[in-house]
Amino acid sequence: MIEDPEPTVAPVRVAAAQNLSPAFPSRAPWGTATKLRAWQAAALDLYQRSQPRDFLAVATPGAGKTTFALRLATTLLDAGVINRVTVVAPTEHLKHQWAQAGARVGVRLDSNFRNSQGTHGSHFHGVAVTYAQVAANPALHRAKTQAGRTLVILDEIHHAGDSLTWGDGVQEAFEGATRRLALTGTPFRSDTSPIPFVTYEEDREGVRRSKADYTYGYAEALRDHVVRPVIFMSYSGSMRWRTKSGDEVSARLGEPLTKDLTAQAWRTALDPSGEWIAQVLAAADRRLTEVRRSVPDAGGLVIASDQSDARAYAKQLREVTGQAPTVVLSDDTGASERIEEFAGDPKRRWMVAVRMVSEGVDVPRLAVGVYATSTATPLYFAQAVGRFVRARKRGEIASVFLPSVPHLLGLANALEIERDHALNKKRSADDDFNPEDALLAAANREEKASDSLLEQGGFEALEAQASFDKVLFDGGEFGLGAEPGSDEEADFLGLPGLLEPDQVSSLLRSRQAQHMKAGPTPATDQFDHRRATELRKELQKLVSAWARRSGQPHGSIHAALRRACGGPEVPQATPQQIEARIATVRQWFVGKR
């Protein structure tokens, strides 16, 4: 095999790295200027004192792991400890992003390198590749690593545990490296796959846990104004679907349900033909409008489960905003350019994407998110939320809209809890709750509708209505429920876009108190539940009959009835309101519409 030639580029100097923003690729946030952040300086000092072969740095998304890694790389290059650099990233987009960052400090990385080339040009210090690329030919990358004094930077190292092939490939390719720097923002997984080059220690219970050399968590970053505080907007609502056996099932999202019923109600909520997602997208856009009053370039991101849903959500957003959102379906040709165009155009409000922007891709102006995917492992959730927390100036806050699924709400409440990657730990039922089928390995190939929920043949979503449930912030819950478009919902959607965390808490408590003082809305007053149940069944039969006759979806028919008769969704409507809808449908059958 032909060995890579020695680099002929100009020597790298540490001074060049001192001009890189602490949170590249964004500008330096409030209070940091061009200096290293305290955690970056402390981690670098620890490394220089110990000079380890392996070093694992765990830092919350948005903290500036790229800047830390490149400063370390320039220090080692300048000292002659290494003369080559290899960066391994999860996606194609990220390896190009690493190359751009490296170029800013004089570290030239060939992000267009292909395994078929064998060697990279002498004008590069090294290459930026993906985990999948390494796994495809670990022997090649082993030879490249051993051909010089190589620093290997393993970005989001937990991906080396995604599959046996990836882990074995990383182990074989880089076990001969001079130095290895592992980076991650989420050092835990829902399985127990060991990660190469990570040290594990047993705790008191005999569980082997990963040991980081330096950790900088979300709570610390929030305290230092490095990341934004996150407000979670939770939406529940009534769902109705038909199972593969032909049974019609109704349930309210967020109420105590079995695991299977929760998954089916969740899937119904995300169905593009139902009203739930349309109402939540409209609410999220109202929130974005409010944020843009204080942060004019603020943008929003919808994370979808698959391509067809992403396209449908984009169409709905266009109807709401009058502007076509940026759609990123997979990490294919042109995806990076579309993301960069969105990041650089403050006039563009929304981006809709499938998975591949859930980790590592930096669009600092993202401030509002809609979690419209059925993937719910702690790892994926943390990565998704990480897209919205990068701070640029003091006072910015992030808003993430969620379905009221107990598992998701638990993850939201636990956002500030530090977790370790654990081995030998007994798996709980939640570990398997709608697991990641493709993770971000799917980012390097065309996305498919592969979630387990989407593989349930014969499932048919019939109706999905949204209602505002509550706000989660700083461990507290606020709100008593409200209809979409109501004043009660607007009180929470209208929170200013620039607030300190204590101001957010104060405002939420104040609005909660106002709602409690106002008492229940007419829709929640006591009434004859038996009579209401009978009327709902009668209305449903009439709606089903009209759907067969007209070919319209059930959700569209219910929406038309609400427009014609007024009132909330069926589960919250009074008997009088339901009677009015029954009378209206009957008139349709005799041609009076």
pLDDT digits (tens, 9 = 90+) for 258-272: 888 899 999 999 999
In the chain, the amino acid numbered 69 is A
Q: What residues are paired with 398 via a beta bridge?
A: 230
Average pLDDT (206-222) is: 81
From the list 194, 89, 69, 193, the residue with the least C-alpha distance to 134 is: 89
Q: Is the pLDDT of residue 1 over 60?
A: no
pLDDT at 433 exceeding the cut of 50: no
Answer whether 0.85 is exceeded by the pTM. no
Q: What is the pLDDT of residue 438?
A: 32
The whole-number pLDDT of residue 574 equals 79
pLDDT mean over 411-432:
55
Contact between 363 and 342 under an 8 Å Cβ cutoff? The reply is yes
Interval 510-538 mean pLDDT: 64
Query: Number of helices and strands (H, E) in the chain?
Result: 19, 20
Q: Which of 35-39, 179-183, 220-224, 408-412 has the highest mean pLDDT?
A: 179-183
* Chain centre to alpha carbon of residue 69: 23
Phi, psi values for residue 264, rounded to 5°: -70, -40
pLDDT digit string (tens) for 270-327? 999 989 999 999 999 999 999 999 899 999 999 998 889 999 999 999 999 999 999 9
pLDDT, residue 552, reads 85
Mean pLDDT of 403-410: 90
Q: Residue holding tokens 């001079």?
A: 178
181: Cβ contacts below 8 Å, ≥ 6 apart: 55, 57, 69, 72, 151, 152, 153, 154
* Burial class of residue 121 (count of CB atoms within 10 Å of its CB; 0-12, 13-18, 19+): middle
Q: Give the containing element (helix H, strand E) for 251.
A: strand 248-253
Does the pLDDT at position 188 exceed 60? no
Q: Specify the pLDDT at position 45.
A: 94
Give the best-scoring range by mean pLDDT among 149-158, 164-173, 531-540. Answer: 149-158
Confidence of residue 435 (pLDDT cuts 50, 70, 90): very low
Tell me the CB-side half-sphere exposure of residue 3, using CA atoms within 13 A: 9
Residue 376 confidence (pLDDT): 77
Percentage of the residues of the chain whose pLDDT score is greater than 70: 79
